[in-house]
Amino acid sequence: MGGEDKLKPVKDPMLAAVRWIKGRNANEKLALGVAAGFMLLILLWLVVDDHDNLFVMSEIIHFIGIAVLIYKLQTRKNCAGLSLRTQELTAMFLAIRLYCSFMMEYDIHTLLDLLTLIASLYTIYIVRGPLKATYQAELDNVNPLYVVGPCIVLAIIAKPGTNHFFVHRILWALCVYLEAVSVFPQLRMMQNSKVVERFTAHYVFALGLARFLSCAHWVLQILDGDSYLLTAFWRGLWPVMVLLSEIVQTFILADFCYYYVKSYVADGTGIVRLPSGIV
């Protein structure tokens, strides 16, 4: 009787899966991550009817991520862990894209870019103004010229082949390349501090999710057999660079997203700790 009264240990398949994944080596984890991303891509292909909506969703998530930052800045009166350089680069590519949208085409993306730009500029104002004393400038040490310079060179080399004004085409390409690397200063700052502040972690994870959806939008357009995109890939460097930029953004943030999910699912702490080699 006494033995029957004892509770038998309950097997938790989720916990067992997490432990199994943690026991894999780096290459196996990479392969599992790629496989998971591919499976999610297929799921989006089957579930989402209009794949253009994925791009809209990515822009909405980006805006939500910055809104989370503003909430943190307003409530905690502290901007520790937040990269001003990334916010400045974000505002730069959004301003360029907004200008090009008005000059070349404008739609729902223009409105979303405007809202996100306003939120980014407000974040910059708070960090430079009321909360300047809490800004960790010594950790935010990426020189923006090293980020913007190569993007300008790429924009001159690989740009859209449309009939729009030459300068506008260069600016459009520049905003694409800047967006791809704008988060780099934030990742470098988090690596320098080792432990990532929670609201900043939410923001960067939102960026990672937004980048994945944006990348999925372009990949699924090709899988759908979009004749324009398929033909464009053989007519110049620009379409290839657009897709490559989306992939670069996704992989830049992939490692962080892994440690973010791990901090909540595997560790249960919500504290993101980054190894030295993430950036």
Q: How many domains does the chain have?
A: 1
The per-residue pLDDT for 227 is: 45
CA-based R_g, the chain, Å: 21
Task: Note whether residue 18 is domain-resident.
Answer: no
Task: Note whether residue 11 is domain-resident.
Answer: no
Looking from the CA of 222 toward its CB, the CA atoms found within 13 Å total: 14
Structural domain including 235 reads 53-264
- 101 versus 35: the higher-pLDDT residue is 101
Rounded CA separation 172/100 (Å): 6
The per-residue pLDDT for 244 is: 81
Task: Note whether residue 32 is domain-resident.
Answer: no
**Predicted confidence (pLDDT) at residue 72 exceeds the cutoff of 60:** yes
Task: Note whether residue 86 is domain-resident.
Answer: yes
Rounded CA separation 212/249 (Å): 8
Task: Note whether residue 167 is domain-resident.
Answer: yes
Task: Note whether residue 40 is domain-resident.
Answer: no
Q: What burial class does residue 47 get, using C-beta atoms within 10 Å of its C-beta: 0-12 exposed, 13-18 middle, 19+ buried?
A: exposed
The per-residue pLDDT for 111 is: 85
Average pLDDT over residues 8-31: 59
Band (pLDDT 50/70/90 cuts) for residue 237 is: confident
Q: What is the DSSP string of 253-270?
A: HHHHHHHHHHHHHTS-S-
Q: With a threshold of 0.85, does the pTM exceed it? A: no
Task: Note whether residue 242 is domain-resident.
Answer: yes
- What Cα–Cα distance (Å) separates residue 53 from each residue in 23, 45, 48, 213? 37, 12, 8, 9
Give me the chain's average pLDDT, please: 78
**Predicted confidence (pLDDT) at residue 209 exceeds the cutoff of 60:** yes
